[in-house]
């Protein structure tokens, strides 16, 4: 086991909203993962589109302090995440402490929490999901090619993909 990892982020949002962002599935999905399920008995399941999964339980749920058991499905190792939320000028200060990590998981956890807290800050301050904004975007508007459209434009096929338009400044 390694020493605990600590991550702190200042966020221009009230502590109650920050707390909800860690405990409400709809808000969790806006910054942390692609699917979140929180059961009535406080167990949770998080899934990312790349297939990553984390499960655990909310062991302590206070307005300014959360403790979660945290088990990454890729290695099965059980660890613990503590979240401290305090009022700060213009919003909140959030400190995440990840404890009981195996040495092999330390670097991945550092990257994960640094990125996640940045995404939380952006989501709560702007309403944007930076994960969506940074996705590559193909600069076309595709639609279905049907027999009528094929006859109109004079192509020798009756189905396929038709490009309805392009997005200025994007590549295709």
pLDDT at 76: 87
- Confidence (pTM): 0.77
pLDDT at 172: 67
> What are the structure tokens assigned to 48, written together?
């990312």
> What are the structure tokens assigned to 41, written together?
């008995």
Q: Flag whether 27 is in a domain.
A: yes
Classify burial at 129, counting beta carbons within 10 Å of its beta carbon; exposed 0-12, middle 13-18, buried 19 or more: middle
Q: By residue range, what is the domain housing residue 151? A: 136-167
Work out how many domains the chain is built from and give that number: 2
> What are the structure tokens assigned to 26, written together?
């709809």
Pair (31, 53) in one structural domain = yes
Pair (125, 46) in one structural domain = yes
How far apart, in Å, do the first and last CA atoms of the chain sit? 48
SS3 103: helix
Res 156 pLDDT > 70: yes
| CATH number for the domain that contains residue 77 | 3.30.530.20
Q: Flag whether 172 is in a domain.
A: no
Res 49 pLDDT > 70: yes
Q: Flag whether 93 is in a domain.
A: yes
Pair (55, 76) in one structural domain = yes
């Amino acid at each position: 086991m390694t020493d605990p990892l600590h991550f702190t982020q200042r966020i221009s949002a009230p502590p109650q909203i920050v707390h909800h962002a860690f405990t409400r599935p709809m808000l969790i999905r806006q910054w942390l993962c692609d699917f979140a399920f929180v059961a009535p008995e406080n167990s949770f399941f998080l899934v990312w589109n790349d297939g990553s999964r984390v499960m655990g339980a909310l062991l302590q749920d206070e307005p300014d302090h959360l403790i979660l058991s945290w088990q990454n499905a890729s290695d099965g190792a059980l660890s613990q995440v503590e979240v401290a939320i305090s009022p700060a000028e213009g919003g909140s200060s959030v400190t995440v402490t990840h404890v009981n990590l195996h040495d092999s998981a330390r670097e991945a956890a550092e990257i994960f929490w640094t990125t996640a807290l940045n995404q939380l800050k952006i989501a709560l301050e702007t309403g944007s999901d930076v994960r969506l904004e940074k996705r590559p975007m193909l600069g076309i508007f595709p639609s279905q090619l049907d027999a009528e459209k094929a006859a109109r434009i004079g192509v020798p096929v009756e189905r396929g993909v038709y490009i309805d338009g392009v997005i200025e400044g994007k590549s295709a």
